């Protein structure tokens, strides 16, 4: 894919790169379509354990939609089609069974921030910026970013962020708990790969179960989510990964 490059490493780590550095990795409609086709296909890919999203070059993760291209589609029907395309793609991204890490290596503005908050984890360069700047263009978030932002920071803070519409620096993002880690400039992908390799050393069944039970807590009633967590435990207790880990632990003793 010319605009979105996907590489799956031998260790089961997949890296998807937004590859339009000439436009700060902004997404034109063709790239949106490619992204929307790619993400659901990963749901049935059993050979990978972690997905990392990042941007080509040093300037941007993704600076949202490419207005030079998207301004060619001015109608309500055009907007509804584009919103459905990316909204469904990010819902598929959120529902992938493996952890998804955003390695934010520069600007993540507008739709770029919506993509970032659809990921499970966010690692950002010290000089990175995120911003829900849609209001400055007379718009709201449309790809699910408003709802995901509110889940991360709460109603009042999400409302403030959306109404201010300003870019936020890495240190502010960390203070808001919008990101997990701030790392030296130019090293977001390196740190994301290190964390992905750490995750990949564990049983893929356990990693997927951890993500699944926490997502149940977001989307289900409390007692139903508790039951999901209980149900995940017994088969893992009897699985080879646990038995080997116990054997190794006892051997060390």
Strands (E), the chain: 4-8, 13-18, 50-55, 60-62, 100-104, 107-109, 121-125, 129-131, 168-169, 181-183
Which 8-state DSSP code applies to residue 128?
Answer: -
DSSP state of 56: S
Token pair recorded at residue 135? 């209001």
- Please state, rounded to an integer, the average pLDDT across all residues of the chain: 95
Q: What is the pLDDT of residue 252?
A: 80
pLDDT of the residue at 121:
98
Quick one: three-class SS letters along 165-226? CCCEEHHHHHHCCCCCEEECCCCHHHHHHHHHHHHHCCCHHHHHHHHHHHHHHHHCCHHHHH
pLDDT in tens, 46-75: 788 999 999 999 999 999 999 999 999 999
CATH 3.90.226.10 occupies which residues in the chain? 4-200
Q: What is the pTM of this model?
A: 0.95
Work out the average pLDDT over 101-117.
97
The dihedral built from the CA positions of residue 50, 55, 61 and 62, taken in this order, carries a sign that is: negative
CATH architecture of 4-200: Alpha-Beta Complex (3.90)
Q: What are 221-251's pLDDT values in tens digits?
A: 999 999 999 999 999 999 999 999 999 999 9
Q: Are 23 and 69 in contact (CB under 8 A)?
A: no
pLDDT of residue 44 exceeding 90, the answer is no
4 has a pLDDT exceeding 80: no
Determine the pLDDT at residue 107: 97
């Amino acid at each position: 894919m010319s605009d979105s490059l996907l590489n799956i490493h031998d260790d089961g780590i997949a890296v998807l790169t937004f590859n339009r550095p000439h436009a700060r990795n902004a997404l034109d409609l063709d790239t949106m379509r490619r992204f929307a086709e790619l993400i659901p296909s990963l749901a049935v890919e059993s050979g990978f354990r972690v997905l990392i999203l990042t941007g080509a070059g040093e300037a941007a993760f993704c600076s949202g939609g490419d207005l030079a291209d998207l301004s060619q589609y001015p109608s309500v029907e055009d907007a509804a089609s584009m919103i459905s395309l990316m909204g469904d793609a990010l819902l598929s991204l959120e529902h992938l069974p493996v952890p998804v890490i955003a390695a934010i290596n520069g600007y993540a503005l507008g739709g770029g921030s919506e993509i970032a908050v659809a990921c499970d984890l966010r690692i950002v360069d010290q000089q990175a910026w995120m911003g829900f700047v849609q209001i400055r263009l007379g718009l709201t978030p449309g790809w699910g970013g408003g709802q995901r932002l509110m889940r991360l920071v709460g109603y009042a803070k999400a409302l403030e962020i959306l109404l201010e519409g300003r870019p936020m620096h890495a240190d502010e993002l960390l203070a808001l708990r919008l990101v997990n880690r701030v790392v030296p400039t130019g090293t977001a992908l390196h740190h994301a790969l290190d964390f992905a390799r750490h995750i990949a050393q564990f049983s893929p069944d356990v990693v997927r179960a951890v993500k699944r039970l926490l997502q149940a807590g977001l989307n289900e009633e409390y007692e139903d989510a508790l039951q999901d967590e209980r149900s995940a435990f017994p088969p893992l207790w009897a699985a080879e990964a646990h038995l080997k880990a116990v054997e190794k632990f006892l051997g060390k003793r």
